[in-house]
C-alpha cells in the first residue's frame, strides 16, 4: 500500500490520537465532499448506517452523495466516547434541513475499526432524528469545518 493509502494517526490509538482521528473525520464530513470522505475508508469497507449497508468506496461515495442532497446545510460535531487498539467509539450530532425547510438535529453513535494503515474498514452507525425549529439550532458556523473555538457536544449540553 502506498502513502496515499495511509491515513495517520495509525492504530493503536492513544487518547490524543483518537481525538485527532475523530476531529479529522468530523472535518471531512463537514466538507460534504463525498469523494474526499470516501478516501478515508478501505476499498472493501463495510458500513451499517441506519438501515443501509454500503460496502466499498464506490457505494460509500454514492451513499454520501445522496445523503448531502437530502440533508441540506449539514453541520456535524463528533466527540470521542472510547478507544482501544484499532477501534474508536464516537457520539455525534448534526443539524440539517430537508427540501421543505424542516430542521432536524440527528443524534447518534458510531463504532469504527481501522486497518494498520489508518483507513476505516468497519463503521456501524445508529442515528435518531429530532425535528427542531430554526430557533432551536445550535450549529451556526459557516458551511465547512467547525471553528476551533465553537463549543463541542458536551459544552453545548448535547
- Residue 47 predicted with pLDDT over 70: yes
Confidence band of 4 (pLDDT split at 50, 70, 90): low
Q: Give 101-106's long-range contacts (Cβ < 8 A, gap of 24+).
A: 102/131, 103/131, 103/132, 103/133, 103/134, 103/136, 103/137, 104/129, 104/130, 104/131, 104/132, 105/129, 105/130, 105/132, 105/136, 105/137, 105/138, 105/158, 106/130
- Residue 1 predicted with pLDDT over 50: no
pLDDT for 119: 98
Q: Of 146, 153, 125, which Cα lies nearest the Cα of 41?
A: 125
Which domains occur in the chain, in start order? 3-136 (3.10.450.50)
Residue 46: what are its φ and ψ, rounded to 5°? -120, 135
Cell of 20: 485527532
Residue-wise pLDDT for 92-132, tens only, equals 999 999 999 999 999 999 999 999 999 999 999 999 999 99
**What's the rounded Cα separation, in Å, for the pair 57 and 18?**
23
pLDDT for 77: 98
- Residue 28 predicted with pLDDT over 60: yes
Residue-wise pLDDT for 33-46, tens only, equals 999 999 999 999 99
pTM value is: 0.95
Confidence band of 3 (pLDDT split at 50, 70, 90): low
Amino acid at each position: 500500500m502506498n502513502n496515499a493509502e495511509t491515513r495517520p494517526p495509525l492504530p493503536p490509538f492513544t487518547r490524543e490520537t483518537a481525538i485527532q482521528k475523530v476531529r479529522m473525520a468530523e472535518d471531512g464530513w463537514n466538507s460534504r465532499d463525498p469523494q474526499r470522505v470516501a478516501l478515508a475508508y478501505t476499498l472493501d469497507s463495510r458500513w451499517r448506517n441506519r438501515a443501509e449497508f454500503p460496502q466499498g468506496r464506490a457505494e460509500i461515495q454514492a451513499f454520501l452523495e445522496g445523503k448531502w442532497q437530502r440533508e441540506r446545510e449539514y453541520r456535524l460535531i463528533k466527540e470521542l466516547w472510547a478507544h482501544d487498539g484499532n477501534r474508536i467509539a464516537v457520539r455525534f450530532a448534526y443539524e440539517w434541513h430537508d427540501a421543505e425547510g424542516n430542521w432536524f438535529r440527528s443524534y447518534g453513535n458510531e463504532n469504527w475499526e481501522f486497518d494498520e494503515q489508518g483507513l476505516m474498514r468497519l463503521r456501524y452507525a445508529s442515528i435518531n432524528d429530532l425535528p427542531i425549529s430554526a430557533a432551536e439550532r445550535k450549529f451556526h458556523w459557516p458551511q465547512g469545518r467547525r471553528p476551533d473555538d465553537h463549543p463541542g457536544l458536551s459544552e453545548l449540553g448535547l
